[in-house]
Amino acid sequence: MSFFKKLKEKFTSSAETEEVSDKYKSGLSKTRHSFASKLNDLVARYRKVDEEFFEDLEELLIQADVGVNTVMELVEELEMEAKRQNIKDASDLKELISEQLVQIYSNGDFVDEVPLNLNQDGLSVILFVGVNGVGKTTSIGKLAHQLKADGKKVLLAAGDTFRAGAIEQLSVWADRVGVDIIKHSEGSDPAAVIYDGIQAARSRGVDVLLCDTAGRLQNKVNLMNELNKVKRVIEREIPQAPHEVLLVLDATTGQNALSQAKTFAQATDVSGIVLTKLDGTAKGGIVLAIRKELNIPVKYVGLGEKVTDLETFDPNAFVYGLFADMLEG
């Protein structure tokens, strides 16, 4: 049985999974519509599989910000496969295309959600990193809300001491969610803030410490070194920490997202990705590219501005969401 059929069965057989997939279907409706329906259009437009068909397919994928390299490899494989199986009718290629895409993410089988790595009996430290304006502070606010709802005692550390208003922004989130915050004044040493955060977390019996950091472009060596220092300070205090280093990526970012992921991973051993602003974009393809080229799991997706608009990333539901129209239709 093909993976696609397995996937379809999984999501149509039980009520619980249906609920999960509905959430994704509505949250990703833009992504899904633009992708699945465009693929349908493409297949309908081209009766015959020819060079132009593949060129259009390439563009369709590139449009979704699936990395250029990934797309080129994928289309080349498809071309060969079509030749091998002697597929001439475009509609016969539809399933093959979807399967190949899923393959990138799943390697042919279900992928489990990768839950947050939390220290079950003691303090867990989560460090947030990323370039400017991707939504680090907002994601921290949302995650704090979620963890608190799960009964955890949460503390925030305002490690972005650089950007104007960043400390106030995190403070507003702390108030909103109802958790404590450790902060210094603007311009102070971020490593010192995080250090104080750890000490406070220990003495207050906190379960999860969420550390904000200033946004930085990945080609600024000094700033990346500073981030590495913050991480070392955490490690020195708690050898197993940080339990998670979450790289926050803006879903509207193009090819640079890969460069961000690579460089931040080098500086801080990124353990997971938070993909934000996925509600506004017709994309989502970046998830595939990151998976293929870097193998870092996406752990959360941001689907809106409300405090509840952070979802754990379910790869199967995501893939299903992408192709739902096609599978059902």
Partner 1 sequence: MVFEGLADRLQNTIKKMTGKGKVSEQDVKEMAREVRLALLEADVNFKVVKDFVKQIRERAVGTEVMESLTPGQQVVKIVKEELTSLMGGEQSKIAVADRPPTVIMMVGLQGAGKTTTTGKLANLLRKKHNRKPLLVAADVYRPAAIDQLKTVGKQLDIPVFAKGTDANPVDIAEEALAHAKEEHYDYVIIDTAGRLHIDEGLMGELTEIKAKADPAEIFLVVDAMTGQDAVNVAESFDQQLNITGVVLTKLDGDTRGGAALSIKAVTEKPIKFIGMGEKLDQLEAFHPERMASRILGMGDVLSLIEKAQENVDEKKAKELEEKMRSASFTFDDFLDQMEQVKSMGPLDDLLAMIPGANKMKGLKNVQFDDKQLVHVEAIVKSMTKQERQDPSLINASRKKRIAQGSGRSVAEVNRLLKQFSEMKKMMKQMTGMQGGKKGKRKKGFNLPFM
Out of 14, 91, 225, 240, point to the residue binding partner 1 (CB under 8 A).
225
In Å, what is the CA distance from 292 to each residue of 71, 138, 281? 11, 27, 21
Out of 50, 77, 168, 328, point to the residue binding partner 1 (CB under 8 A).
168
Which positions from 122 through 151 interact with partner 1, judged by CB under 8 A?
131-135, 137, 141
286 binds partner 1 (CB under 8 A): yes
Window 183-222: contact mask with partner 1 (x via CB under 8 A): ---x------------------------------xxxxxx
Least distance (Å) between residue 308 CB and partner 1: 16
Count of all residues that appear for the chain in the document: 329
- Burial code (b: 16+ CB inside 10 Å, e: under 16) for 29-50 equals eebbebbbebbeebbeebeebe
Out of 14, 240, 256, 308, point to the residue binding partner 1 (CB under 8 A).
256
Q: Is the peptide bond before 315 cis (omega within 30 degrees of 0)?
A: no
Out of 39, 64, 75, 247, point to the residue binding partner 1 (CB under 8 A).
64
As a dihedral over the C-alpha atoms of residue 81, residue 86, residue 91, residue 93, rounded to 10 degrees, the angle is -10
Tokens standing for 233? 């300070």
The answer to whether the beta carbons of residues 302 and 275 sit under 8 Å apart is yes
CA distance 156 to 214: 14
50 binds partner 1 (CB under 8 A): no
76 binds partner 1 (CB under 8 A): no
Least distance (Å) between residue 313 CB and partner 1: 19
Out of 90, 166, 210, 275, point to the residue binding partner 1 (CB under 8 A).
166
Least distance (Å) between residue 281 CB and partner 1: 5
Tokens standing for 281? 């974009």
Q: Report the run of H or E that residue 156 belongs to, with start and end.
A: strand 154-157
The answer to whether the beta carbons of residues 327 and 8 sit under 8 Å apart is yes
Question: Of 13-21, 86-94, 196-204, 274-282, which part binds partner 1 (CB under 8 A)?
Answer: 274-282
CA distance 308 to 302: 9
29 binds partner 1 (CB under 8 A): no
Least distance (Å) between residue 198 CB and partner 1: 24
> Which residues make up the interface to partner 1 (CB under 8 A)?
30, 59, 62-65, 68, 72, 131-135, 137, 141, 162-166, 168-169, 171-173, 176, 186, 217-222, 225, 250, 252-259, 262, 277, 279-283, 286, 305
